[in-house]
A and B are shown apart, each in its own frame.
Chain A
Amino acid sequence: MTNSWTDLQNSRCFLIAGSNCAENHPIAMRWINRARDKGAKIIVVDPRFTRTASQADIFAQIRPGTDIAYLGAIIRHILVNKLYDKDYVLNYTNALYKVSKGYKFDAGLFSGFDAKGKKYSIDTWGYQLGPDNKPLKADSLEDPDTVFAKLQEHFSRYTFDKAEKITGIPAAKIKEIADTFCQAKPATILYALGMTQHTTAVQGIRSYAIIQLLLGNVGKAGGGINALRGEPNVQGSTDMANLFNSLPGYLPAPIGTDKTLRDYLVRNGSIQEKPLVALLKAWFGQSATKENDYCFNYLPKYNLSVNASMVRIFDLMNKGQFKLLINIGSNSLVSIPNRQMVRAGLAKLDMLVVSDLFEIETAQFWREPGVNPAEIKTEVILLPAAFVYEKDGSLTNSGRWIQWKDAALKPLGESKPDLEVLDSLFRRVRQLYQGSTDPKDEPVLKARWDYGQEPSALKVLQEISGYDETTGKLLPTLADYLKAPAGSVSTGCWIYTGVTGNGNLAARRKNGDPSGLGLFKDWSYAWPANIRILYNRASCDANGQPVDPERKLVWWDPVARVWSGNDGPDVVDKTKGPDTPEGKQSFRMNPEGVGRLFAAKYTSGMPVTPPADNLSPIGLRPAGLCVDGPLPEFYEPVESPTSNLLHSEVSSNPLVVIPATVPGIQKVGKPEDFPYVLTTYGVVEHFCAGGVTRNIPVLNELMPGPFAEISKNLAQKIGAQDGDTVEVASARGKLRVRCLVTDRLQTYKVNGKDTETIGIPWGWGFASLSPGPGANELTIGALDPGAGTPEYKACLVNIRRV
């Protein structure tokens, strides 16, 4: 979230698309309803009429995976009708920046496409640079070289009619959505997995970014782009690097070619030096010195050509790549798409360790109906895990609030908190390595691991928050970290710096809200630096004064010559006023200092003259990139009932990844055999893969089993009635489930042809008190090329009554 849950109350319009927050984030509705009480409008775009849709002023049923088509039409509408916030666009985005002359988009492909390697060479996606290596800026938006012109050109194809033909949403309704959303300020966009679980995931969110930047909604109370994170601590685990390609605090993970720290900085910019060194100090303490490159060589390096994200891991498991899997806090056999691949993969392991509250499906994959246990060689160990209320620690919510909690109960029976399990595991492993002189064992032997005899979660958070390594004292604030020279401080995750600096700020529970804007800045601690609304500099005009008098976040105090406000100012330097280059920056984490309508290749601070010793130059800060294009483009899901209306020859994402090490393990179906679109989702009554909730009788009572939701037309077509059993099949698997006939799904037209969507929740499996088939029997493990997220939300199936 750029903003926070409590900030939702400030919005005047919500575009909830790719999120069923009433279902999956019920708490969101509390704050949304406060906004509604003040007249806010709710727009819901979803493949189904959901619980959230029941609250909507405007609802549009969309064909799964086609969001970019209607969002593109909204962008075009904004551009054509000049509905954008001109001051904002000029001052706070890269609209005026001149794009490299070589940049092109044609027939579904951006310039630089390498068809053989299925990737882009992105050199043409940059800016025209001046002699100082800084981007050239045009004088006006009319200049044909500008980002703005490229935007206009790119989205000119996205008419309402075209969008209707692709998405199935009537053109008039898309226009109504566009008008409603553009007229309300501030307006916010809420999304979750409905937007990210596609092979066009990153570009879908990019579309949101473009809309919100054009409308000037980012950095403002009631605005922003709000990713609603799932489990209470998804945000926290992402912050702590649960992805293979990052280190804590979103530092890029080193790759095989990063032999030294300097190599790493060449790729990632000098800006990463301090946080990476601080991280290495946190992990290896006194062993990390300038002389030994701060133990940089201890870090594992990943292989860019493998990109071992979740699905890929299970794919490789099928090839026998892994001997041991430690599976904690995930019911992989239920939650991973095309679960046959998971089941087959687990059987190739020597040992599987599952830590959970119950004997979840993953832990008993060997006795799933239809599997012969005698043929499974994998040894399975189940560790009893303590429940969330049985352990101390912090959870970071979607609004980046790090919230401490104490254990409320003693762990039941022999169950143990994860920290205790990992702590004893590590210590025993280290014991096994004791005395080794093999250099590859050094990371284990030299790791700083001092969380106490009985490991303390607070000590872990303190390590994350950071120490002054010269004194051994806690680092008081983020500012102290920023001031300190590299190598003198440690932080386990630099963005969390200061959370325990002056006492455990995460444990703060003062709910005063003097501004009335829901900032609650004395409640817990938000990263970074307790800033509740990111990019809030953009809520001010060029002179540093709030644009919205009712929602004042921060301002430049010309008398005291300092940035101050109700929220912590998100500025480079609080003493640098709006008349300085630093004081103009509203998006300080981007190398340009502005919001990026066009995701250009760019590194700030590149020296004009290369280093004399023939080394590669090190820039300051490289821009984040989208591997599949600097602008969002609509591509069909991998399995789609139609070909791409914009460019049929490049129908789905040209960079899409479909892991299939073992041939035939990830079949792709054709619309002739599988004419209907399947979308998958969770239900409020159960949580995620149901490992816990399906073992709780009062929850099973509320939602006793899975179902397939179908329209009345489809029900008639297959001769099924509500409550009948239907068989739903994809190219990868099939399942039998109760059919739920509903008006909440309607037949829609795609390019003139009647089309049906079927919905099946995914959180069921063969074990627990409420066993039942889950939708991942059917889904496809096709991945977004940038994020590696699988396309859970759209695939093709057939259905018949049993």
Chain B
Amino acid sequence: MTRKMVLADTSKCTGCKACTVACKEWNQLPAEKTQLVRSYQSMRTFTPDTWTFVSFDENYSGSQMHWLMRKAQCFHCADPACLKACTSKAISKTGSGYVVIDADLCIGCGYCAENCPFGVPKVDDQKKKAFKCTGCIDRVENNLKPMCVQTCQTGALEFGERDELMAKAKKRLAEVKGKYPKALLYGEKEMGGMTHSYILLDSPEAYGLPSNPAAPLALTLWKDIIRPVGTVAVGGAAAAVVFGILGNALRGNYGPPESGKGGKE
């Protein structure tokens, strides 16, 4: 399947939260007890049962009010930190660009949760599994739009081929910049290019997003250096033992069993 994309044009989002309900319904996720966090936001963060929510940020300056609303969910990175962190091979990437967790393989260790720069995956302590937005891969692979996109009434969410939609996003960005000079496209290159991308009206920080998201340095060090070097080192130790035995044998050190003397010639 070709690479897909969901574009969230925040200039068209009114924060109606229909996407959130649609997600819960399609994925049969139970409601949770909430209270208002700030502004009209009721969900503080992702949970094993909340895979998408709308964040609300109020920016008032120079007698201009900007009410920034953003549908948060897994970005489905091309270069996903969660996948890299997963020690159980439970996380994989599809050709269509979705990053999915195989619940059968997941052991709930939470390394993905710790390493995602956006804090997306969350471990259910009871089920001992990590959960996050699936991108509605079950729908996408059956030629349906993701449920959130299907539900969005304002046209803020759009689903399509990544190449086409990214081109459209750039065109739209140029229009949006007229009114919001700080507007930017988020997700084209970030994390290797994300399947869920945004047109943001302000800096990523204004929405609580990192400007330059990256897998933590520790993760890279761990997975790209310590892991291979460590494996080689343990293998090396084992090999050294084999050579040690061979060396001793060749030198005849294992002659008549004379405990205590062998080492000294």
Chain A positions near chain B (C-beta within 8 angstroms)? 22-23, 26-27, 29-30, 33-34, 36, 49, 51-55, 57, 59, 683-685, 697-705, 707, 722-723, 738, 740, 742-744, 746
Give Cα A233–Cα B34 distance, bound, in whole angstroms: 32
| A22: B residues at CB distance < 8 A | 14, 16, 154
Provide 9 A-B residue pairs closer than 8 Å at the C-beta atoms, listed in order of the A residue. Answer: A29-B12, A49-B65, A53-B67, A54-B15, A684-B15, A698-B24, A701-B31, A705-B36, A744-B67
Partner of B15, one of A33, A51, A701, A723: A51
Chain B positions near chain A (C-beta within 8 angstroms)? 11-12, 14-18, 20-21, 24-25, 30-36, 38-40, 42-43, 58, 60, 63, 65-67, 69, 153-155, 179
Q: Is A49 within 8 A of B42, CB to CB?
A: no
Give Cα A705–Cα B31 distance, bound, in whole angstroms: 15
What is the distance, in angstroms, from B189's C-beta to the closest C-beta of chain A?
A: 26
Q: Is A740 within 8 A of B14, CB to CB?
A: no
| A705: B residues at CB distance < 8 A | 35-36
Give Cα A26–Cα B12 distance, bound, in whole angstroms: 12
What is the distance, in angstroms, from B207's C-beta to the closest C-beta of chain A?
A: 14
- 6 interchain residue pairs of minimum CB distance: A697-B31, A743-B60, A22-B14, A29-B154, A54-B67, A701-B31
Give Cα A707–Cα B33 distance, bound, in whole angstroms: 17
Q: Is B65 within 8 A of A53, CB to CB?
A: yes
User: Would A707 and B43 be within 8 Å (CB), given that A22-B14, A29-B12, A698-B21 are in contact?
Assistant: no
| B58: A residues at CB distance < 8 A | 742-744
Give Cα A51–Cα B15 distance, bound, in whole angstroms: 7
Q: Is B65 within 8 A of A684, CB to CB?
A: no
User: Would A55 and B42 be within 8 Å (CB), given that A33-B155, A698-B21, A740-B36 are in contact?
Assistant: no
Q: Is A30 within 8 A of B31, CB to CB?
A: no
Q: Is B36 within 8 A of A738, CB to CB?
A: yes
Q: Is A29 within 8 A of B14, CB to CB?
A: yes
| A746: B residues at CB distance < 8 A | 63
| B17: A residues at CB distance < 8 A | 684-685, 702
Q: Is B153 within 8 A of A743, CB to CB?
A: no
| A36: B residues at CB distance < 8 A | 12
What is the distance, in angstroms, from B23's C-beta to the closest C-beta of chain A?
A: 10
| B25: A residues at CB distance < 8 A | 698
What is the distance, in angstroms, from A763's C-beta to the closest C-beta of chain B?
A: 14
Give Cα A740–Cα B66 distance, bound, in whole angstroms: 17
| A723: B residues at CB distance < 8 A | 36
What is the distance, in angstroms, from A672's C-beta to the closest C-beta of chain B?
A: 30
Secondary structure of the B side of the interface?
loop
Find the residue from A49, A57, A743 having the highest chain B CB count within 10 A. Answer: A743
Q: Is B14 within 8 A of A701, CB to CB?
A: no
Given contacts A57-B179, A683-B40, A704-B35, 16 further A-B contacts (CB under 8 A): A29-B155, A30-B153, A33-B154, A36-B12, A54-B14, A55-B11, A55-B14, A59-B65, A685-B17, A698-B25, A701-B33, A702-B43, A704-B34, A705-B36, A740-B36, A744-B67
| B18: A residues at CB distance < 8 A | 26
What is the distance, in angstroms, from A721's C-beta to the closest C-beta of chain B?
A: 12
Give Cα A433–Cα B260 distance, bound, in whole angstroms: 119
Find the residue from B17, B43, B69, B179 having the highest chain A CB count within 10 A. Answer: B17
Nearest B residue (CB) for A701? B31
Give Cα A20–Cα B33 distance, bound, in whole angstroms: 27
What is the distance, in angstroms, from B260's C-beta to the closest C-beta of chain A?
A: 74
| A49: B residues at CB distance < 8 A | 65, 67
| B155: A residues at CB distance < 8 A | 29-30, 33-34
What is the distance, in angstroms, from B179's C-beta to the closest C-beta of chain A?
A: 7
| B34: A residues at CB distance < 8 A | 701-702, 704
Q: Is B21 within 8 A of A744, CB to CB?
A: no
Q: Is B38 within 8 A of A701, CB to CB?
A: no
User: Would A742 and B39 be within 8 Å (CB), given that A54-B69, A700-B31 are in contact?
Assistant: yes
| B12: A residues at CB distance < 8 A | 29, 33, 36, 55
Q: Is B14 within 8 A of A52, CB to CB?
A: yes
| B60: A residues at CB distance < 8 A | 743
Give Cα A36–Cα B156 distance, bound, in whole angstroms: 12
What is the distance, in angstroms, from B21's C-beta to the closest C-beta of chain A?
A: 5
Q: Is B43 within 8 A of A701, CB to CB?
A: yes
What is the distance, in angstroms, from B246's C-beta to the closest C-beta of chain A?
A: 67
Partner of A703, one of B11, B24, B40: B40
| A27: B residues at CB distance < 8 A | 153
Nearest B residue (CB) for A707? B36
